[in-house]
Each structure stands twice: as C-alpha cells, then as structure tokens.
Amino acid sequence: MAVTNAKHVEITEDQLLLIAKALADPRRYEILKKLGEQRCPTPCSTMRDSIDISAATLSHHMKELEASGLVRSEKDGKFVHYFPQQHVLRAYLDRLKTDLA
C-alpha cells in the first residue's frame, strides 16, 4: 500500500482482493461496522462482548481485517485495541468506482 499523502491511499491489486474477501464475510462486515461506530480505539474485550462468537473466531476475523488493511491493532500490555482504517476503505471504494463504474 502506497501512501501518497495523509488523505489519499493507493491500494495494490493484492490488497484490493484482500479487502473484497474480508468484506464478503458477514461476520467481518459486522465487526468492521461495529468498529466504525466507535469514536475511540476499541478493546478486543468490547468486540468479544458485542458479537456472539468465540475469542478464537474473533481473533481469526481480526487478523483477516488487519491483513487487508481495514483495521490496525495496537498492543497495550496484554490488551489489544483496534482502529478502523477508514482511509483504506475510502481508497477501496474509490478504486471500485474507477475500475467498475
């Protein structure tokens, strides 16, 4: 992923496919939606409490979202906080519009 300035991100073909795959899963879509509703970093425990899935399944989905660039994680001791990467989502949507519209 090449960052050309703070607001504009260009995504690669590989990332385009990773994002499409990540968003195609209903659970990951739900997770991303919940993250986007938060005004601050979201702790893993909050995500676990708000979505009815096991910790292992949540971890798998978060890794997929992170691999696509849609989510960034930060460790704080033994806790993990998640940040939605809205600029990446916007770049994905812009790319779809350019490629398909």
pLDDT digits 0-9 by tens, 49-60: 888 889 899 999
- pLDDT at residue 64 is higher than 90: yes
**What are 24-37's pLDDT values in tens digits?**
999 999 999 999 88
- Model pTM? 0.85
CATH number corresponding to 2-100: 1.10.10.10
- Give all strands (DSSP E) within 44-96, no chain letters: 71-76, 79-84
Cβ–Cβ < 8 Å for 83, 73: yes
- What is the band of 3 on the pLDDT scale with cuts at 50, 70, 90? very low
- pLDDT at residue 88 is higher than 50: yes
| Alpha carbons 49 and 38: distance in angstroms, whole number | 14
